[in-house]
Copies of this chain bind each other. A is one copy, B any other.
Amino acid sequence: MPRMGQEPKRRAALLAATVEEVGLAGTLDVTVGQIARRAGMSPALAHHYFGGKADIFLAAMRQILTDYGAEVRAALRTAPEGRRLEALIAANFSESCFAPATVSAWLNFYVLARRDAQAARLLRVYQARLRSNLVHALQPRAAAPQLAARRIAALIDGVYLRAALSGEGVAGAAEEVIAAAHALADIR
C-alpha cells in the first residue's frame, strides 16, 4: 500500500475530517484519534504530517477561509456591475459555505480565535476582506459605505450565528439579508 506522494492527499483528508468532526461534535473537543480515524489513518500519522493538534485546527481554519475566499472571488467575477452587493451576500450564504458542519466549525474557530493569536489573525483577515468587499460594492449606491459595510457585516455574522445555533433551515437567508442590506445602505 504505502506509495509515494501521499502527503498532499493525507493532509487534505485530515483537514476535511477535522471540519466534519468538529462540525458534528459541535466543539473543538475532538481527539486527534477521531479525526485520524475519519480520515482513514492512525493518530500517529496525523501527528507526523501536522505537528500537533493546534496545527491541524489552524490548517483547517485556513482551508475554510481559502474556500470561502475562492467562493466570493468567483461570485464577484461573474456578477454584473450593479449587483455586486447582492452577489457578495449570496456568496456568503452559498451552499458550500453553509453546510451545517462548516457553519459549526466556523463558530468554533471563532471561539478558538479568542485564545490563539494565529487564529485571531486569520479571522481578522477574513473580516477585513469582507468589509473591503462590502465597501467596494456599496461605493456607488450608499451614502456612507464604511458605516453601512460595518452594519451589513455584523448582520451577516448574526444570521450565521443564528443558523449555527438553531440548526434550522437557512433557505432564504441570503434574500432576507439582501433586503435588509438595502435598507441599511440608505442610512445617512
Task: Give A contacts to B, CB under 8 Å.
Answer: 25-27, 29, 104, 107-108, 110-111, 113-115, 120, 123-124, 127, 150-151, 153-162, 164-166, 176, 179-180, 183-184, 186-187
Q: Which chain B residues lie closer than 8 Å to A124 at the CB level?
A: 166
**Of residues A108, A115, A120, A154, which shows the largest number of chain B Cβ atoms within 10 Å of its Cβ?**
A154
Closest to A147 in B: B176
Q: Which chain B residues lie closer than 8 Å to A26 at the CB level?
A: 111, 114-115
Q: Which chain B residues lie closer than 8 Å to A187 at the CB level?
A: 179-180, 183
Q: How far is the CB of A109 from chain B (nearest CB, A)?
A: 11
Q: Which chain B residues lie closer than 8 Å to A108 at the CB level?
A: 111
Are A155 and B162 touching (Cβ within 8 A)?
Answer: no
How far does the alpha carbon of A166 sit from the alpha carbon of B127 in the complex, in Å?
10
Are B110 and A114 touching (Cβ within 8 A)?
Answer: no
Closest to A182 in B: B187
Closest to A107 in B: B111
Q: How far is the CB of A61 from chain B (nearest CB, A)?
A: 13
How far does the alpha carbon of A93 sit from the alpha carbon of B29 in the complex, in Å?
30
Q: Which chain B residues lie closer than 8 Å to A157 at the CB level?
A: 157-158, 161-162
